Amino acid sequence: MPRKIKLVFHSSDNYRLIAIVSPLKEYRLAFAVNQELEFDFERCDDLAYAYSGDIMGTYAWYHFKDLNTNTVFYLIGNRHPGGNLIPSVKSADFFILIKNIHDTDEIKAYINKLKSIPNIITALEVNPETVKDLEMLLDINELHEMEQLNRC
């Protein structure tokens, strides 16, 4: 009798998530983050997500890849008039999703620099185990990245 082998893949292991609370528009926030962290966020098409049946929300989406470390950063909006992209993190206006980073000291340095930006009320690392929608965010972000990187 053939056996079934189940492959369990946890894609959140290579990702870190920073929540940002700020009244800034996304383009102003991206500019400020670029200045403070010496990033080069590039605006691409908004991330579209149908979060409730046929109700579609669009969320700002910026991309930056550090070629020296092979770390990828995404600045993603969390607010839409119809609802938040990640409802379990209601207070966050934006997220910085970081792919391929393992140094916790570097994450702390990013957070401290983000907090020093005027009009950023707070920034903090989100524990992935407390965000029930994280896998969904990773999936739609990956699909969106594949679509966008050929265009922007």
The per-residue pLDDT for 72 is 95
- For residue 139, being part of any structural domain is answered with yes
pLDDT (tens digit per residue) in 91-146: 999 999 999 987 889 999 999 999 999 999 999 999 888 888 888 889 899 989 98
Task: Grade residue 9 by pLDDT with cuts at 50, 70 and 90.
Answer: very low
- For residue 132, being part of any structural domain is answered with yes
- For residue 3, being part of any structural domain is answered with no
Q: For position 43, which CATH number holds?
A: 3.30.160.110
Task: Grade residue 50 by pLDDT with cuts at 50, 70 and 90.
Answer: confident
- For residue 141, being part of any structural domain is answered with yes
Per the structure, how many domains does the chain have?
Answer: 1
pLDDT (tens digit per residue) in 79-91: 988 888 998 898 9
Q: Using the Cα atoms of residue 38, residue 142, residue 133 and residue 83 in order, give the sign of their dihedral.
A: positive
- For residue 4, being part of any structural domain is answered with no
Q: Indicate whether 12 pLDDT > 90.
A: no
Which range among 12-16, 21-25, 99-103 shows the weakest confidence by mean pLDDT? Answer: 12-16
- What is the residue-wise DSSP string for 29-69? HHHHHHHHHT---EE-SPEEEEEETTEEEEE-EEEEEETTT
- For residue 6, being part of any structural domain is answered with no
Q: Which domain holds residue 117?
A: 13-148
Percent above pLDDT 90 for the chain: 57
- For residue 87, being part of any structural domain is answered with yes
d(CA 6, CA 100) in angstroms, rounded, equals 25
For residues 37 and 49, the model is more confident at 37
Task: Grade residue 8 by pLDDT with cuts at 50, 70 and 90.
Answer: very low
- For residue 44, being part of any structural domain is answered with yes
* Helix (DSSP H) and strand (DSSP E) numbers for the chain: 3, 8
The per-residue pLDDT for 130 is 84
Q: Work out the average pLDDT over 33-45.
A: 95
